[in-house]
A and B are shown apart, each in its own frame.
Chain A
Amino acid sequence: MHIPDNYLSPSTCAVMTAAAIPAWVHSVKKLKAELPKEKMVLLGVGAAFSFLGMMFNVPMPGGTTGHAVGGTLIALLLGPEAACIAVTIALLVQALLFGDGGILAFGANCFNMSFILPFVGYYSYKLFCKLFKADELGASKGKKILSAGLGSYLGINAAALMAAIEFGIQPMLFSDAAGQPLYCPYGLSVSIPAMMIGHLTIFGLAEVIFTVAIYSFLAANSSDSFYGEKGFSSIEASHQGFGSRKAGILLGVLMLATPLGLLAAGTAWGEWGIDEMPTMTESFSWNALMPDYTLGGLPEWVAYILSAVIGVAIVIILFRIIGASMKSKTNYD
């Protein structure tokens, strides 16, 4: 879900950042008005928790593992506005210090994961609570947990859909003189199914397991943990984990739901119309893989010097890596 740089054009990144700004401003304003001063510190610590949550590998059925974003859980614990800021900071740390997710694409990533995800997740949780008539807090723990799971599932998929749309509009808008796409080359008909199949199943499931597991733990052990639910009154500390059988059933359901992603794309895989991929008419040739050296209109010797520098640097790097890995063999005996 973390979009790296160069998949979106800088102008798309600028637009997405502009779209994220109102979300940030709204969140900061709401927090300033609502959050008691001592809770401001909680925001930083909440961001740290959010960052850590993203590092965890969630156990999945069949022994595999998956990662969760955890945006909905943070929203349930701290409120959607605080979650927006906390996830933004966690994403900034990832982008700036770990190179995970682009710097230019930071606005787009924030729009998807720190605005769409927690807000959709939180408000659909609220909606499901209403639908299931789960207002009696102590009595309807199961319904609350179900709502949390459904909310997180909708949240992550809404965010994935946004990311897919951002990818998908790139080839329509940005191409070079030869008609070659400059950024993400896949149109909506490819990007939406590609993103949604993964998120409707595996990543959606990881998010649901993550949210439900921690939600039910906190519901059982610390009743006052949840945002806006002071009366989440004492529930006996009998904690039941989210068993792998339940997760397996859920995965089956999610897999059955996968074709929904294909429906959303309009055209299915392999059935693109000729107007959807204008560049397909050109015959494929491997020569096109090598960029044209005279493209920049620069003299040929500049290209030679550049390739010499790049070549020498790569060789030095390789040798230094080999050297470093040989040195690091320590004999502990």
Chain B
Amino acid sequence: MTNIPEWLETEEHYEAAPDRDGFMTKSMLSIISMLSSFRAGKVSFGKHGAAFPAPLKLLLCLALIITTSATKNMMVVYAILAVTLVHICLLKAENLRKTVGVAFLASVMSALILIPAIFLGSPRSMLTVSIKVFVSVSLISILSSTTEWNKLTAGLKAFHIPHIFIFTLDITLKYIVILGDIALDMLNALKLRSVGINKSKSSSLSGILGVTFLKSRHMANEMYDAMICRAYGEEEKK
């Protein structure tokens, strides 16, 4: 029979004291949701998404947004709203939920902001602006959820946007995911080490973003070296 030491037999009644760590949880959640939409953005494209080339979709989307914003005739807005809603119906469940969520939140927000306007003599603003906001945000959300994001950035080329800009944008998209992972790991580590009350927790935020910045600088240098090794010149092809 093994001897269990006495201290191991006594029952522990440790209850972690609640501490305010909303900033950690909120930051983690927003980074996780951002990362997941980035990962989805690479693979997911609805079957009706592939029918149009990305530049055409981008152009169409822009044209509809400009029309929505510029028109004084609400019938035009309702027509675009109808087309948009029908398109939303045809989306995959995942994309549908995301699109409606984002657009609904945006229009509710603007309705709230515009409530005082009803009493300041412009009652119609709340309805028109909220509906227009819903249409514009849905259009962008449909575009981004049915198009592969690298095709979308490549699509910007059709608008004669300088190559260096699109190149930088591509690097940005890649590194948002890499840096997001790093920051998320550090947030996880901080959360795991913050059982109960940890007073130096909020000052650790500076460490997390500071280290992320230092790593980003290091990785930028490494990436440039790698580009030089692969014979990077002024004009690189995609």
Mark A residues whose CB is within 8 Å of B: 4-7, 9-10, 13, 37-49, 51-53, 55-60, 63-65, 77, 85, 89-90, 92-93, 95-99, 102-104, 171, 176-177, 180-186, 190, 210, 213-214, 216-218, 221-222, 225, 239-244, 277-282, 284-286, 288-293, 295-296, 298, 302-303, 306-307, 309-310, 313-314, 316-317, 320-321, 323-325, 327
Q: Which residues of A contact B34 (CB under 8 A)?
A: 55, 98
Pick from B100, B143, B152, B175: contact of A317, CB under 8 Å: B100
Contact assessment for A321 and B172 in the assembled complex, using a CB-CB cutoff below 8 Å: no
- What B residues does A295 contact at CB under 8 A? 73-75
Interface majority SS (helix, strand, loop, mixed), chain B: helix
What is the CA–CA distance of A93 and B143 in the complex, to the nearest angstrom?
Answer: 13
Q: A65: which of B26, B93, B172, B221 is its contact (CB, 8 Å)?
A: B26
How many interface residues does B have (CB within 8 Å)?
102
Within 8 A of A (CB), among B1-33: 20, 22-24, 26-27, 30-31
Cα-based distance from A209 to B21 in the complex (angstroms): 16
- Is B51 on the interface with A (CB-CB < 8 A)? no
Question: Could you tell me the distance between the alpha carbons of A251 and B168 in the complex, rounded to whole angstroms?
Answer: 38
Distance in Å: Cβ of A195 to nearest Cβ of chain B: 11
Q: Is the CB–CB distance between A38 and B221 below 8 Å?
A: yes
* Contact assessment for A7 and B171 in the assembled complex, using a CB-CB cutoff below 8 Å: no
Q: Among the listed B75, B88, B168, B221, which residue makes an inter-chain contact with A44, where contact means beta carbons less than 8 Å apart?
A: B168
Q: Which of A95, A240, A289 contacts B140 (CB 8 A)?
A: A95
Once the chains are docked, how many angstroms separate the CA of A285 from the CA of B123?
A: 8
Q: Could you tell me the distance between the alpha carbons of A38 and B17 in the complex, rounded to whole angstroms? A: 49
Interface positions of B (Cβ within 8 A of A): 20, 22-24, 26-27, 30-31, 34, 37, 41, 61-62, 65-66, 68-70, 72-76, 78-79, 81-82, 85-86, 88-89, 93-94, 96-97, 100, 102-103, 106, 110, 114, 116-129, 132-133, 136-137, 140-141, 143-144, 149, 152, 164-165, 167-176, 178-180, 183, 200-207, 209-210, 212-214, 216-217, 219-221, 223-224, 227
Q: Whole-angstrom distance from the CB of B11 to the nearest CB of chain A?
A: 27
Alpha-carbon distance A185/B205, docked complex (angstroms):
39
Q: Which of A92, A214, A225, A281 contacts B209 (CB 8 A)?
A: A214
Given contacts A186-B117, A310-B81, 7 further A-B contacts (CB under 8 A): A6-B69, A48-B173, A49-B175, A102-B65, A185-B129, A321-B100, A324-B93
Q: Are A58 and B79 interface neighbours, CB within 8 A? A: no
Q: Given that A4-B136, A6-B133, A45-B217 are contacting pairs, would A51 and B172 also be in contact in the complex, using a CB cutoff of 8 Å? A: yes
How distant is A291 from chain B, measured CB to nearest CB, in Å? 4
**What are 5 A-B contacts with C-beta separation under 8 Å?**
A59-B23, A98-B34, A176-B72, A177-B72, A190-B120
Instruction: Collect the chain A residues with CB atoms within 8 Å of residue B116's CB.
Output: 186, 190
In Å, the complex CA distance between A90 and B175 comes to: 12
CA distance A46 to B170 in the complex (A): 12
Q: Enumerate chain B residues within 8 angstroms of A99, measured Cβ to Cβ.
A: 102-103, 106, 137, 140-141, 144
Chain A residue numbers with a CB within 8 Å of B118 are 284, 289
Q: CB distance B72 to A52 under 8 Å?
A: no
Q: How far is the CA of A17 from the CA of B183 in the complex (A)?
A: 33
* A279: nearest chain-B partner, CB-CB: B121
Nearest Cβ on chain B to A79's Cβ, whole angstroms: 14
Q: A42-B220, A55-B27, A104-B66 are in contact. Are A280 and B89 (CB under 8 A)?
A: no
CB nearest to B83 among chain A residues: A309
Other-chain residue from A6, A310, A316 in contact with B129 (beta carbon distance below 8 A): A6
Interfacial chain A residues near B65, Cβ < 8 Å? 5, 102-104
CA–CA, A218 to B127, complex, Å? 48
Contacts of B201 in A (CB 8 A): 59
Please tell me if the beta carbons of A216 and B206 are within 8 angstroms of each other in the complex: yes
A313 and B214 in contact, given A40-B164, A99-B102, A214-B209 (Cβ under 8 angstroms): no
Across the interface, do A97 and B41 meet the contact criterion of CB distance under 8 Å?
Answer: yes
* CA–CA, A10 and B75, complex, Å: 18
Q: Once the chains bind, are B100 and A56 in contact (CB under 8 Å)? A: no
Is there an interface contact between A4 and B75, defined as CB atoms closer than 8 Å?
no
Measured in the bound complex, the distance between the Cα atoms of B22 and A324 in whole Å is 29
A221: B residues at CB distance < 8 A: 210, 214
Chain B residues with CB below 8 A from A244, complex form: 202
CB atoms of B129 and A282 under 8 A apart: no
Asked if B31 and A55 sit within 8 Å, CB to CB, the answer is: yes
From B170, which residue of chain A is reached at the shortest CB distance? A44
Q: Are B210 and A289 in contact (CB under 8 A)?
A: no
Taking a contact as CB atoms closer than 8 A, the residue among B75, B85, B122 that contacts A313 in the complex is: B85
8 tightest A-B contacts by CB?
A: A241-B203, A44-B171, A313-B85, A213-B206, A296-B75, A48-B175, A279-B121, A217-B210
Tell me how far the C-beta of B210 lies from the nearest C-beta in chain A, rounded to whole angstroms: 4
Partner pick for A6 among B68, B85, B97, CB 8 A cutoff: B68
- In the bound complex, residues from chain B placing their C-beta under 8 Å from that of A216 are 206
Task: List the B side residues contacting A171 at CB < 8 Å.
Answer: 122
CA distance A306 to B82 in the complex (A): 6
B138 closest partner in A (C-beta)? A99
